[in-house]
Chains A and B, each alone.
Chain A
Amino acid sequence: MAVKARGILPQRQKGFATLRFVVGGQLTVAQMRKLADLARREGKEMVLTTMRKTVELPWIRLEKVPEVLKECAGVGLRPGSTGMRTVKAVLPCAATYRCAFEATDVMGLYDKVATRYFGRDAPAKFKISISGCPNYCMHPYLNDIGIVGRVHPRINLDKCIACGQCARLCRGEAITQKTEAYPASPLPTKAWEEAMELNRAPVFDATTPLDAIILDEKGLPHIDYDKCIDCGLCVRNCPTDAIEVERSGFTVMVGGRGGRKARFGNEIVRIASEEELFTILDRTLEYHEKFAQGRERLPDAIERLGLEHYKEHVLEGLELDGKQCSTMKARSG
């Protein structure tokens, strides 16, 4: 029996293993029922979820493992990589399904990244996370590679009706200001209204006031690009589409890690295109392969060799500067 296969974690209790599945942060009803059923039959009636959004089925007897894995495969549960030295489960934020801040198609990108890299061998574990916007919900700076969706805005004053919405949003008043955020309730009780009032806060609290949009004396908006974080919130909420996307893509952060030796990663590119993003990912894995000493993790290798060394090898020939917006170039320079 090949117990060393992927997705099988040893427990401290002899004879038992925990099975890990990579699900990209979501479970279908069929998967849930299967897990519940298996936990009841073969485990201890419990299922675990992890900070990398995988699910685990603990307390499975070793001899039952192949059988259980087979049943799980039937509902599309893919065993997770527990190989110590591989690309770990790619961590996507929950954006696609509901988040008002999402600046990029998170699950679309997740599928591509996971298909291409998940489980690939590396000198040490290698973690990738994807956040849909600069709210950084998936801690891009604590991953070997953190990817963040960005949208760089530009205002076309010809279309602007000076409604002030964009400035309000950027001030962090966000959608709470848009009273039409909820349609008239068919249950127009006071309790409901209070609830909505209360419940509005958590989601939209996510924005911190940036105040990057200044209204001039005519009420026309101007973006202060020193303050703008390219979240794209103003773009998506302008009633006349006066705010256009000058450039959109992905910020890449490199060399972060969580846990005991936590270290923040560095932002190496502000807005890369999807193609550039994949080039950077490919080359970063090659870099790790080539320069790691023994089982060294990427952050340690970068610390030893210096960020410039990494950049020289990975960003070479990418002409990212030329493709950055002029405003962004000014800022980084």
Chain B
Amino acid sequence: MTKIRWTSGILAQKQREYTTMRVPLSGRITSEQMDKMADIAERDGKGIVLLTIRKSIEIPWIKYDQSLKVQRELQQAKLEIGSCGRSVRTVVRCASTGRCPFEVIDVEKKYQEITDRYYGKSTPTKFKTSVSGCANACANPYINDFGIVGKAHPRIDFSKCDKCYKCVEACKGGVFATEDGIPEVEGAITQEAITIGEDGMPRIDYDKCIDCGWCISNCPPGALGAERVGYGIYVGGRGGRYPKFAHEVARFVSEVELFRILEGTIEYFRKFAEGRERLVLVLERLGIEHYKEHVLKED
């Protein structure tokens, strides 16, 4: 017998006899899922769906006595409802999905791994994570409980450099045309971390560099490469009524470290939260040093 998971995902509406089904998809919907949700919205709802800021889809105006049936139908189409209540919420990923010119890590893969391991796991209160594919941080890591940002540390191989200075322009936020001459991509950053040395070679000022990797993607002969690829980690931010920016707890860590810190942070949250306190409040109460001691310290 299939047991219906009543975890969450059915939201009450102000119109008492209706509910809204929340389908966490984190911004990516297959054609099949889209058709399924269209069918349901047409038959059981009011012919519309809503998009949320965390990239879920909501199907509103489902008669509440139909909710069970609709949930089952969604499940059959591999659309789990959820992402409410006191648990690890949908992991928000930036829109890179392998096509954003700035992406330096495999956002899809990270999203999947984190989702498989943590999504829906119970926590003292909601726990929000996001993954951004580069230092542009489009998925707002600063207002999540746990924000992840992909980074690529650049290095110049001078033997390959032909002094075209595209990297200099890139780091200034220069505008690029793709080879077809169309459409334009504007570098989002304006770091000006690359200058031209006396020998005419480009030099990276690593104090200014934010490891966005944009220069790497724009070096025609491939003289610029990623020395390493890793992650920046932000902890304890939140949006909503009392917003607060997260603490940067790691500037550049490996994948193994990333998962160790994520695991540690969830454990820490479970252990130290009083009642339904958000992580941001735990950190305010106990101090970021307390967190660092418990989570970041190597055994």
Contact = CB atoms under 8 A, between A and B. Distances in A.
Chains A and B belong together in one complex: yes
Interface of A: 3-4, 8-18, 23, 25-29, 32-33, 35-37, 39-40, 45-51, 53, 55-56, 58-59, 62, 84, 91, 93-94, 97-100, 102, 134-139, 141-142, 175, 180-183, 185-187, 191-192, 194-196, 198-205, 208, 229, 258-260, 262, 264
B137 A97 contact: no
A48 B95 contact: yes
Contacts, number: 235
B101 A11 contact: yes
Consensus secondary structure, chain A interface:
mixed
Contact of B240 (A3, A35, A137, A195): A137
A98 B184 contact: no
A183 B16 contact: yes
Contacts of A36: 31-32, 34-35, 38
B65 interface: yes
A25 B57 CA distance: 10
B8 interface: yes
A58 B96 CA distance: 10
Given A11-B99, A195-B10, 17 more contacts: A4-B184, A10-B101, A46-B29, A46-B31, A50-B27, A53-B51, A84-B186, A98-B20, A100-B13, A139-B53, A139-B243, A186-B65, A194-B6, A199-B84, A259-B138, A259-B188, A262-B137
Contacts of A182: 12, 16, 64
B16 A260 contact: no
Interface in B46-83: 47-55, 57-58, 60-61, 64-65, 67-68
Interface of B: 4, 6-20, 25, 27-32, 34-35, 37-38, 41-42, 47-55, 57-58, 60-61, 64-65, 67-68, 84-85, 92, 95, 97, 99-101, 103, 135-140, 142-143, 178-180, 182-186, 188-189, 210, 217, 239-243, 245
- Closest 9 CB pairs between A and B? A202-B84, A98-B13, A36-B34, A32-B38, A36-B31, A100-B14, A11-B99, A195-B6, A10-B183
Given A10-B178, A191-B6, A136 B240 contact: yes
Question: What does DSSP make chain B's interface, helix, strand, loop or mixed?
Answer: loop
B8 A199 contact: yes
A4 B183 contact: yes
B140 A39 contact: no
Contacts of B13: 97-100
A1 to B, nearest CB: 9
B8 A202 contact: yes
A25 B179 contact: no
Contacts of A191: 4, 6
A198 B9 CA distance: 10
Nearest to A129: B53
Contacts of B57: 49
B61 to A, nearest CB: 7
